[in-house]
Chain A
Amino acid sequence: MATKKTIAIIKASGHMGSAIVKILANKNHRLLLFCEECEKLNDVLTEIRENVSGSDIELMGCPIEASWEADIIILTVAPSEEEKFAELIRAFATGKIVISMSNLHRGIRNKDDKRFKPEAVKKLAELLPHSKIIKAFEGPIMDGEILDRIINEN
């Protein structure tokens, strides 16, 4: 039996965050959800509790606490907030995988998209110099396919 991976999702209450929670809920991971408006997650969590036996999900009051416990951190914050959250979790993200979903907020599908900003990737790498940063693109990741691969390989 493989050791459960602990995955922090920051912020889990947005559209993107709750979609990721749904994808990961039945994959035998431990999910730590940081949300600012947790009531928005009520429906999603109720649905998961009814359909997924043995789901391991916990709401966390602080993004740092969630990152400290996590093996993998998924930032589902808006692009404008990414910097703020990256600074908060920096010291606790050393050596960990940080998956940034900020591209998805812009609807960017791949690196060829004209709106893709390589400097944003660079900026995040500067803010989290000792983490392994993975920028997510729409499509496969929302099917869980790429996300699974990233999580299981690390």
Chain B
Amino acid sequence: MFFAKRQRTLIFRVNGYLLSLIAMFDLLFKHISKRVTLSSSELEFLTTVFIPKKIRKKQYLLQEGEICKWMTFVSKGCLRSYTLDAEGKEHIVQFAIEDWWIADMYSYLTGEPSEYIIDALEDSELLMLDIKGKETVLENIPAFEKFLRMLLESNHIASHRRLHTMMTKTAEEKYLNFIHSYPQIMQRVPQHMVASYLGISPETLSRVRKQILATK
């Protein structure tokens, strides 16, 4: 009797986990279908290649000096990539929340060691595509090449915009641009990380925020 109850609990649990996994892939499928249309067998093929991975808050996905082996799609949670200067100060390059990708694409594509660190700011659920997996997908799903090209294009545009903002805008403009572009991230990450991302000190960020509130 005890054994039967235990088995039932296990089956219930297995179903729960499978539902979570289905939800993860659902988000990925929706994300891909915004750019290209894949057949149901092509979508099913993706489930055999993407690596499901759970990572907890503060755990690393990549450390400086390692080769970035994965393109990572975030199904749930929040991660960041950053670099450290000579004094050990963090400079945040990117945040990634649900429906976003995170990777050091330079390292991923060239196989050279990364200068970046990627870690989790929240417990996160990820779908990871390694280089071999990517090649397999490209061989089997021609439309994925188009998807990847479009993804890299939007990544390039975003990087270019960010560079332009960093070089030409005031602290206030950078902040307003950030809250306008990424309102969801604003609510999830601590202020000192937003400051690091914007390339300004936490004190400057605090001053800018007060000024903006005062003028409202």
Contact = CB atoms under 8 A, between A and B. Distances in A.
Nearest to B64: A1
B66 A92 contact: no
B63 A2 contact: yes
Contacts of A94: 47-52
Contacts of B209: none
Interface string A75-94: 00000000000001001101
Contacts of B50: 94-95
Contacts of A88: 10, 14
Interface in A95-113: 95-96
Interface in B23-68: 47-56, 59-66
A96 B18 CA distance: 17
The main secondary structure of chain B at its interface with chain A is mixed
Given A4-B60, A130-B48, A68 B65 contact: no
A64 B15 CA distance: 11
Secondary structure dominating the interface of A: loop
Task: Give the size category of B's interface with A.
Answer: 20 to 34
B28 to A, nearest CB: 13
A1 B49 CA distance: 28
A143 interface: no
Contacts of B61: 3
Query: Which of A3, A68, A91, A95 counts the most B-chain CB atoms under 10 A from its CB?
Result: A95
B130 interface: yes
A3 B63 contact: yes
A1 B119 CA distance: 14
B129 to A, nearest CB: 9
Interface of B: 10, 13-14, 17-18, 21, 47-56, 59-66, 128, 130, 133
Interface of A: 1-4, 62, 64-65, 68-69, 71, 88, 91-92, 94-96, 129-130
